[in-house]
Structure 1
């Protein structure tokens, strides 16, 4: 059991972006749930506006994280992991990135097909994409966005289960690779 070296732990920037995005995704899910269950129309509208703003923020943070990842290679997966675990981990991370970019883009595309832009935190309006108005495509993109969001929630559950397996069964401290404290094993 060797101690974790600096090149086996994620960088501070990677950790910060990971946790900011994780919290933002959960909050965004709760915002749209709150909008769907709001009894007052104005409340629902406010929840949706915040959902859209946070979605664009998630897109920006994800693009920043992808850029950072290209410049700063992530640490290698633990050598003792089974081949299926490594394949599942890599696949899950790829799907997460596809969804973290794709979901906001689908939302933006849906708004664009409605002829709308996205107001971002009341500071500026992101103009609609140059696609032309098409209500049917707006609805289709909105449905894909919703389905992708559901898939994201299930994948987060799978990700958490994987973390629990590593912490409680494997006892390899894998979680500590994504935190600035703790004692992971190499």
Structure 2
């Protein structure tokens, strides 16, 4: 392992990171589009994609957990202030919790409607064995939407932190998650 690669995430970790990032942003935009759909039928079709991507995000996050067990991530830069270390670790923990719980909550809520989740028309996740409860499902979806807002705030914090380290500190931290450039100590 070269000196630069020991400071850099593995290719698999990078791929999973960027796939999840793209999927989260796409899913947010899809949910927004569904809110503004002209008909219930159009909204349902749009939300089908949202559910499919949500399940895909869950699968990618579970793969990422598994990969982290096999391949430890590189340490944070020794130049980080204590508050930066705490914010980075706390943000990532909340990311992982939300990216795991949100798809499960969506599946649970759909199960309360007694509905399976079609994943891109390839297969269906059957409803979980829970009692029908449309009002409970609505409450779960409201919590899911609130969690989505928290997730978007964390994405903004993550991007702002990356910009700070790239443009102000010029510490090369961004290259830990890119296959090019030189990460620094």
TM-score (norm 2): 0.96
2:161 equivalent to 1:162: yes
Per-residue deviation at 1:144? 0.8
1:68 corresponds to: 67
Whole-angstrom distance in 1 between the partners of 2:4 and 2:121 = 44
In structure 2, the CA distance between the partners of 1:128 and 1:26, relative to structure 1 (3 Å rule), is: same
1:94 corresponds to: 93
2:15 equivalent to 1:31: no
2:131 corresponds to: 132
Whole-angstrom distance in 2 between the partners of 1:4 and 1:184 = 9
TM-score (norm 1): 0.95
Which structure 2 residue ranges, 5 or more long, are not aligned? none
1:54 corresponds to: 53
- Give 4+ residue runs of structure 1 displaced > 6 Å after superposition: none
- Check the 8 A contact 1:52/1:120 in 2, yes or no: yes
Which structure 1 residue ranges, 5 or more long, are not aligned? none
- Check the 8 A contact 2:116/2:127 in 1, yes or no: yes
- Check the 8 A contact 2:4/2:183 in 1, yes or no: no
Whole-angstrom distance in 2 between the partners of 1:181 and 1:44 = 41
- Check the 8 A contact 1:4/1:185 in 2, yes or no: no
For the aligned residue pairs, the C-alpha RMSD in angstroms reads: 1.2
Whole-angstrom distance in 2 between the partners of 1:74 and 1:51 = 30
Give the match's secondary structure for 1:119. strand
2:100 equivalent to 1:106: no
